[in-house]
Structure 1
Amino acid sequence: MTWKSFHRRGEILRTLITTADTRRDGLLPMDVEGVAETFGDELSLVGALSLRWHTRLAGRIERELMTQPMDLEATVVAAWRRTAGELPGIRAILDHYRERPGDAAMADALARATAKEHVLLAVMAGRSSAADRTAVRVGEQIEQRARATAAVAA
């Protein structure tokens, strides 16, 4: 990938995210100019959006823990909620395709990404180690708590 194509890809991804944030319908905005040519297919696009979500979430958790290191789980929950507020379109797309993947490859990719996210949540909340078999379940509970408290706050 050349620098020009790298920057073009980033520009299209930003436009796509803005469109997704506006629509919030959970559907991939494949109609955005340049998306099909740049990302090729829905799986590649979901992968790029999943990476953007995970990177932002991990960074947000790190920043939140710097200012509120005493209640790890509450801080991780707050970080998840803030990230969902910053990237509502991506969150809606990931939720939609997690429930209704386009094909088996997308279902597998999203299941693996979700499991990794849940491990991140559990580990950063101090509730598990990455090697612990219960980490995914614990992280899922933390995500559910974040979603529940976000719904109450809304």
Structure 2
Amino acid sequence: MTTITQGATMGWQDFYARRDALNAAVEQGELRRSAVFGDERELLLALQYRWTQRLTARLELAELSDGDPVDAVGAAWRRTAEDNPNLRALLDAHADDEALRPLIEAEHRTLARAAGLAEAGDSPAEETSIGAAFVALQRSTPTSTPRRNPVERLLRRLAPSA
């Protein structure tokens, strides 16, 4: 049995029922009250948790890359969003929900730190702001076009066989 945060235990049947309810919400693109989630807020928080798990896995892989951390973290965010478009759209539609605000801010701080854009002396508010700007940039960057540094692009133009 798995223990959930509210102190109650959750068996496999509960786990599968919650998973199915989350999948249905993502597929339908709307929050609907279900028997396994007490209210829409609880469902929304579970959807944010699902997003966070998927993004965190990609960020951990990005940290292992030898390239530019900004590029690696940006690519991780964009790939996660591209692989989960309905989940991302549902969360974006409810981004103003007060229950999500601290979780979104925590995500922004995590992204700012992982990308190396936040410094040790930055306040949480500064990190949040930097992370929010970073996410806005990722939303406007096409996923399929890898970002290359200007010198690499110039060398590729000068030497087409490269």
Normalised to the residue count of structure 1, the TM-score between the two structures is 0.77
Written as runs of structure 1 = structure 2, the 5 A alignment for 1:1-154 is 1-17=10-26, 19-20=27-28, 27-28=30-31, 30=32, 36-66=34-64, 68-99=65-96, 107-128=97-118, 132-133=122-123, 134-150=126-142
Judge conservation of contact 1:119–1:130 (CA < 8 Å) in 2: no
Amino acid aligned to 1:45: L
**What's the Cα RMSD here?**
2.2
Report the Cα distance in structure 1 between the residues aligned to 2:134 and 2:37, rounded to whole angstroms. Answer: 32
Amino acid aligned to 2:18: R
Judge conservation of contact 2:54–2:80 (CA < 8 Å) in 1: yes
Summarize deviations over 1:18-45 as a string: whole Å, max 9, x none.
x14xx5xxx32x2xxxx51111211011
Uncovered stretches (5+) of structure 2, i.e. residues with no partner: 1-9, 146-162
Report the Cα distance in structure 2 between the residues aligned to 1:52 and 1:130, rounded to whole angstroms. Answer: 29
Judge conservation of contact 1:122–1:136 (CA < 8 Å) in 2: yes
Segments of 4+ in structure 1 off by > 4 A? none
Report which of the two has the higher share of helix: 1
* Larger displacement relative to structure 2 (119-128 or 57-66): 57-66
**1:16 offset after TM fit, Å?**
3.3
Amino acid aligned to 1:8: A
Q: Taking every aligned residue pair, what percent have the same amino acid on both sides? A: 34
**1:98 offset after TM fit, Å?**
1.3
Residues 11 and 36 of structure 1: is their aligned pair in 2 closer, same or farther, counting only changes over 3 Å? closer
**1:56 offset after TM fit, Å?**
0.6
**1:62 offset after TM fit, Å?**
1.2
